[in-house]
Chain A
Amino acid sequence: SAVISQKPSRDICQRGTSLTIQCQVDSQVTMMFWYRQQPGQSLTLIATANQGSEATYESGFVIDKFPISRPNLTFSTLTVSNMSPEDSSIYLCSVAWTGGADTQYFGPGTRLTVL
Chain B
Amino acid sequence: GDSVTQMEGPVTLSEEAFLTINCTYTATGYPSLFWYVQYPGEGLQLLLKATKADDKGSNKGFEATYRKETTSFHLEKGSVQVSDSAVYFCALNSGGSNYKLTFGKGTLLTVNP
Contacts and interface: CB of A to CB of B under 8 A. Distances in A.
B99 A31 contact: yes
B100 A45 contact: yes
Interface residues of B, number: 21
Interface string A87-115: 00000101010000111111111000000
B32 A106 contact: no
Interface residues of A, number: 25
Given A92-B44, A102-B93, 20 more contacts: A42-B89, A42-B106, A43-B101, A43-B103, A45-B101, A48-B98, A48-B99, A48-B100, A56-B98, A58-B100, A92-B43, A103-B34, A103-B93, A104-B46, A104-B99, A106-B45, A106-B46, A107-B43, A108-B43, A109-B42
Interface of A: 1, 6, 31, 33, 35, 41-45, 48, 56, 58, 92, 94, 96, 101-109
